[in-house]
Amino acid sequence: MQTQRILGRNAPSATILIRLLVGWVFVSEGIQKFLFPDVLGVGRFTKIGIPAPQFFAPFVGVVEIVCGTMLILGLLTRLASLPLLIDISVAIATTKIPMLSKAGFWATMHEARTDFCVLLGLLFLLIAGSGPFSIDQPLSHRKSSLE
């Protein structure tokens, strides 16, 4: 029963589209933290006031790459969504909320559109699970037959 809550298999087939969308955003952003460290990695973390940016920028990059890939594959989707929910919540709190008072509502909404879409996608995946086209699917069948 606990395995069913984690792996779940009742999500619709179209869930793969949400997994690909959200996973690709995170994989891409994680890779870019290493490719462009001054703008998107350590330099950005320093600019927005994240403590220990030399540690946290690469750490967050690895989390985004690993968990984003897990979402794409549908591997432990609900568990992979949790660190990414923390990641995007911190991103919104440290970059978009402060922007609201400086640039106004509409400029912030424009800049935050991807962040909010990814946040909602992660919440969907946390609730619905990975769906039938995933690694979780055969795992949930194997686990349920053992229980």
* pLDDT tens track for 24-59: 999 999 999 999 999 999 999 999 999 999 999 999
Tens-digit pLDDT profile for residues 57-73: 999 999 999 999 999 99
pLDDT at 9 over 80: no
Angle at 103 between CA 97 and CA 106, to 5 degrees: 85
Spatial CA neighbour of 14 closest among 122, 118, 134, 135: 134
Whole-model pTM?
Answer: 0.89
- Calculate the average pLDDT of the chain: 91
Spatial CA neighbour of 88 closest among 119, 120, 130: 119
- Whether the CB-CB separation of 125 and 81 falls below 8 Å is answered with yes
Distance linking the first and last C-alpha atoms of the chain:
8
Note down the domain range covering 115: 2-146
CA distance 67 to 75: 9
Those residues whose C-beta lies under 8 Å from the C-beta of residue 41, and which sit 6 or more positions away, are 32, 33, 34, 57, 58, 61
pLDDT value at residue 6: 63
Q: How many separate domains does the chain show?
A: 1
